[in-house]
Structure 1
């Protein structure tokens, strides 16, 4: 399906680097951009901040780089099987758009290059296609939410990702907006704004959802008591735990443990 031609990740180009190709190239070029830059696709010139992606289609005129300073990107030349209408799979060719997780995209490109260089048949083609599918899906997700991603949220991307992972791994502990805002070095109101902007849900609602998801997992896979589960999920009150669990799932914790998710057991509601 996909054939890797050449690529690089976290490539540090010389200062004032500019690459120009007036007639394009016969394959696709994917760029994940880590610094500010200037891009020209056809006749359109755009100046961007770090954290953008661009997929240039074959035989498209382009010029890109950063005439004013350093330029760093991940880049991947690749071709696609003629049996696939890639314009339908990836409709946003030749459009710059913000990406919410450049680290993951970098790792995927790195892995694709590794597979292309060192993996032997019969796994080579399958592995490359698999990682390409994941890469394309991440790009599609970012493109689909491009109007929700702001420059501000991108600048705090790594802090918010680490914060949310910490929340998920320490649900039994107290998590407050005040503490996290101080940790990142921003106001509480700005923290709440960025959190909602980045994850599409408020901090408090997201924390409750994470706790209830953990409770569902513990109810399904352990024999812990309700009190133990409530404690592990950060609840000091069993009544509060029961109320929030039923509000989100439509079923009590006891019935969830006995019957499973309500979507599959509507008769008990």
Structure 2
């Protein structure tokens, strides 16, 4: 009876720890769920969702009602996105994924440079993509493909893109590990990932703390999915411009 009780207790503990029993005599640890890489906290910043990834609280994302911020007339003077675009060294036949494209502010400036390529404009909000398509038709740009993503999947075809660009977006991803893994699968060997984030090291940049990132944090999170840091270009007035690469042997 005592042996039975001990075995029963052991089985319950195994189940609580995510184990499974086979033939009543053996057990093995189950594959860890992706949720194990995140931590949820009840007490958190009002600007965050209470979900932490690699020590960083994920910021609340900006809804489509904030679209005017993306299209503000002062954006060029404040962020110099034209300098960002020039620094990408795009080739005419490149395929670029603008992740978190929003209203298409960046996508629609890149597209005319890709005379033989195109832009995948990726966003999780259909309302944002509707705004993007309005501007696309207004400017008569035909090589931008809007893609409705989900919070954990960019919905990009495998081995299809030369560059993935994220401008002030990555810090808001609810499932950053899964999204970047999806991007890595979509990248061609040698493909690049470029992240633009307000500099978290600088307290004088007047952006909410959770909407900024440090270089150290970005490099740590990209390394976790197998991306190799290549350089940080210090050409923008307030943001890091960080370049990563998918090595040829990466999956």
- Name the TM-score, length of structure 1 as normaliser: 0.21
Structure 2 length normalisation: TM-score? 0.22
Q: Which has the higher strand share?
A: 2
Structure ID, larger Rg: 1
